[in-house]
Structure 1
Amino acid sequence: FSVQARSYTFQSATFKSTGRPRVLSWWFQNRKPVSRQPPDDLFGKVEDFAAQWWVWWSIINPTWRERDTATGRLVINDNDDSDWSNLRRPGQCGILTVLLCLFWWHERLSAPSQEWVFALQDVAWVVNELVHASK
């Protein structure tokens, strides 16, 4: 993550708020505490949060990324000439918010779910692609 963040010429640091998990509004309004979990009543059910996260993740990803027709989830595919500019959002209001959501989601699971692991793999792949695209 730090390699990726250092490689940017800074532009708008935030993603679109459309579809954004509501716990991020709590985080923004409370001075971005990374050491605290959002309140349970705000976080809601893990399944609902996961669905909300996937919607937002799909919205902020490039439109050229393939979506599974059955689930609507993003598909990891190699495309060397890809434009990642809409995901180049360094800092604490950018890609860190995606990672923070994954952390909060994980902390509410008794064991990592297959859905969470897939989300983590997709985000890791995207961050890797961002690093390679910035070289």
Structure 2
Amino acid sequence: TVLPYSGNASAHPLWFQQAFTYLNVDLGEQYLSLLSSWIDKERIGAYENPKTGLEKKNRPATLSEWQKKRFVKSKDPNISDDNFIVSFSGEVWCWWVSLQPVWRAIAPGTKPSHPPVIKTSMTNWKSLDKKGLNGWFGILVCLKWWGMGLEHCPVEKREELKEDWLRAIDDVSAMLNGLLTYYRASPK
């Protein structure tokens, strides 16, 4: 199952059409729900695609290389390499933790123990309030590669890496939905 492309495709900028098509793969309900939230975020942000984006420090090198080559012309990483997901998942967590707002307070080198409980008093979303190809798109690309690579990782690590991937999706979803709630509650 994948998401249908909503609305008139020509009404959306080309970058969004290509990004949606790239991310729209069947990796389960949790992933598709996250993808749907990302679509809402980009819609609320008027499909802007600024050059500035998420902090590059700690960003997985594989993603940086891929984005430099303009994703539509770039080859995907070799997710069928036995150990790609084993190392890549750790890089994704490291980057994700480094992007968190100050109020989240996750120690570097650790993973969140559970998705956050978002309160309306949490108003500093600056580190995650990024749009377009340099925003949340990169996070979703990482989760796509991780999810697709699970079938190629060592059998003895597969279940653990899948649970970790689902945990990452839950955490990313909670923060993205918190950001969406903040947008909707903010005065225009």
TM over 0.5, shorter chain:
yes
Task: In structure 1, list runs of 5 or more residues that go unmatched.
Answer: none
Distance 1:78 1:127 in 2: 10
Instruction: Give 1:13 deviation, angstroms.
Output: 3.6
**Higher share of residues assigned helix:** 2
Distance 2:133 2:167 in 1: 23
After the TM superposition, which of the residue ranges 72-81 and 97-106 deviates more from structure 2? 72-81
Name the counterpart of 1:94: 135
Match of 1:107 among 148, 168, 172: 148
- Between the two proteins, what is the percent identity of the paired residues? 24
Match of 2:119 among 56, 69, 79: 79
Distance 1:33 1:86 in 2: 26
- Return the TM-score normalized by structure 2: 0.61
Distance 1:102 1:35 in 2: 17
Task: In structure 2, list runs of 5 or more residues that go unmatched.
Answer: 1-37, 152-157
User: Could you report, residue by residue, the CA deviation over 1:3-26 in whole angstroms, capped at 9, with x for unpaired residues?
Assistant: 211223766641111110011122
Equivalent runs, 1:53-68 vs 2, <5 Å? 53-67=92-106
Instruction: Give 1:36 deviation, angstroms.
Output: 4.5
Match of 2:89 among 42, 50, 61: 50
Which amino acid in the other structure matches residue 117 of structure 2?
N
User: Could you report, residue by residue, the CA deviation over 1:27-71 in whole angstroms, capped at 9, with x for unpaired residues?
Assistant: 1222113885223599x52121111111100111112114379x7
Alignment check: 8 A CA contact 1:26 1:38 kept: no
Aligned residues: 134
Instruction: Say if 1:12 and 1:131 are closer, same or farther in 2 by CA, change over 3 A.
Output: farther
Alignment check: 8 A CA contact 2:79 2:85 kept: no
- Which has the higher relative contact order, 1 or 2, with Cα contacts under 8 A spaced 6 or more apart? 1
- Structure number with greater Rg is 2
